[in-house]
Amino acid sequence: MTVTATELGPVEYCEAGRGEPVLYFHGTGVCGDAMLPIESRLVDDGFRLLIPNRPGYGATPLEPNVSALGCSSVVAAWLDSLGIDRISVMGSSGGAAFALGFGFHQPQRTKSLVLLCPQLHRWDAAQWLPASSRWTLPFLRHRPLRKLLLAGYRLQLARMGPEALLRMEAGARYDDMARDPAAVEIAMTSLPAMRSGTRCAGFENDMRIFVEEDILQDDGKLTVPTLVIHDEADPMAPVAHVEWFQSLVPHCERVRVCAGGHLIWVGQDADVVHKTRMEFLRRHEEC
């Protein structure tokens, strides 16, 4: 990991590969380096993967960039420090919300936007949370209760094994994923990353943002080319997020796949996921 100073504060990041750069927003509860092995196929296909730790994760301080807009601004300042003017943008899970925020607030710097298994809508009603977690919404709305809830989640992770994590992330796809070596590997490597990442201040701040902030306002216009890839059986990011987003951004390209539930990188259509997004990125390289 490398730390770079910017006019808005230091940013810690990791990178791999050469060629066309891709700015990647990591998901909630893990730091950026956890995504490098999961997204290695992008590197193999000639992309330069740049993954900053969002504010509050790793050595990137939370203050003063506590909002989604603040995240977009400090990442833009970090790109300035790297001498990058325009870039392809990608985000997965909770990180997709911050990728969307970057594309919305920094359209002049965004060549294209890829959203994977995305969480996008503000949690203003239980329908936007995983079905198994909808009871937590009253707790998430109040900081003291939120801290108590997240402490319990960290304890749950400490006691959880890879099989239980895979069951949680795969949902209805679990029976297939339990026999998939790639899915099992993701679960085994993700668990320690989540145990560490959920102790970062950025994890609790993500929860606050999801409850309090509208990443894309109803009257907002997203002008950059956008691709959304999701599994309708995703147990962690309800399909309602994608349907709402498509209603506001009808020009987006939406691809439904049969993958590993929330683990979009594995399963029956893993190659479809990778090929579709690779072709989309290449198509818009010169935009």
Whole-number pLDDT of residue 286: 76
Q: Which of 96, 100, 49, 55 is nearest to 75 (CA)?
A: 55
Helix boundaries (H) for the chain: 35-38, 40-44, 68-82, 94-105, 137-140, 143-159, 162-170, 174-177, 181-197, 201-212, 240-248, 270-283
Pairwise CA distance, residues 220 & 216, whole Å = 6
For residue 257, the SS3 value is strand
Contact 51, 24 (CB under 8 A): yes
Whole-number pLDDT of residue 221: 83
Residue entry with tokens 């594309």? 103
Whole-number pLDDT of residue 150: 96
- The CATH architecture assigned to 2-283 reads 3-Layer(aba) Sandwich (3.40)
19: how many CB neighbours lie within 10 A of its CB?
13
Question: pLDDT under 50 in the chain at which residues?
Answer: none
Pairwise CA distance, residues 63 & 70, whole Å = 9
